[in-house]
Amino acid sequence: MAIKISPSILSADYLTLADDIKRLEAAGCDMLHLDVMDGIFVPNISFGVPVIKSIKAHSNIPLDVHLMIDRPHRYIKEFAEVSDWLGFHFEAGSDNAELLKEIRKLGCKSCLTIKPCTAPEEIFDLLPLCDMVLVMSVEPGFGGQKFMPQSLDKLSALRDEIKRQGLNVELEIDGGINGETAPLAVKAGATVLVAGSYVFSDEMTDRVKLLKSL
C-alpha cells in the first residue's frame, strides 16, 4: 500500500485552518485527521459534529474522524454523516463488532483504535470488520507527546496478522510522528501516518511531501 498522510488539526491554528486545509490539499494529503474528545474517555475536550460538518463543506480531503469518547455507539450515526473514515477506541466500552458493522452499513470505512496499554492480539478477531486499525503511539488526549517505541512492535504484529488472514486493512499510527519516527513506523508496517505539530508548521508542504515519499 502507498503511504497515506492524515494531518491532525489538533495542532492547527483554528483561525487559519481554512487556509491550511487548502495548503494540505495542494500538497497532496490523503486524509484529514479529526480528534473528537469528550473530557470523559480522555482528559481533554475538542470539538464535535458542527465543526466537522463545516470542514467537510469546504474541503475535498477525506475526513478521518477519531472518536476518543465514552460509549461511542451513542453518536455513531451523527458522526457517520460527516465522516469518510470513522474510528473509535476498542477500550471505550461498546460492542466493538456490532459497532464496526454499523459504521460500514452507514457508508463509512471502519477504524478500530487501540491505546498504548492494549495488546494487538486483543483485536485479531475483529480485523475482518476493519478497514483500518489505528495504533496510538502516545496516550490519547493531548498533542505534542513523545513517540512510544513499543508501538512499532504492535504495528509489526498487526501487519503479520493482517497478512495471515489475507485482509486488506490500512494500519494507521498516531502520536509523535515526525521526520525521525515516521520511517520507523513505515518499516514496521504503518500505511497511514497521522502527524500534527510536525506538519502544521512553516514547512507544511515540504514535510507532507517528505512523509509521502517514505
Q: What is the set of active-site residues?
A: 35, 174
Residues 6+ apart with CB under 8 A from 29: 5, 6, 7, 61, 208
Measured distance CA(168)–CA(145) in Å, rounded: 30
Q: Is 77 exposed, middle or buried (0-12, 13-18, 19+ CB in 10 A)?
A: exposed
CB 29 within 8 A of CB 204: no
Paired residues of 134 in beta bridges: 113, 172
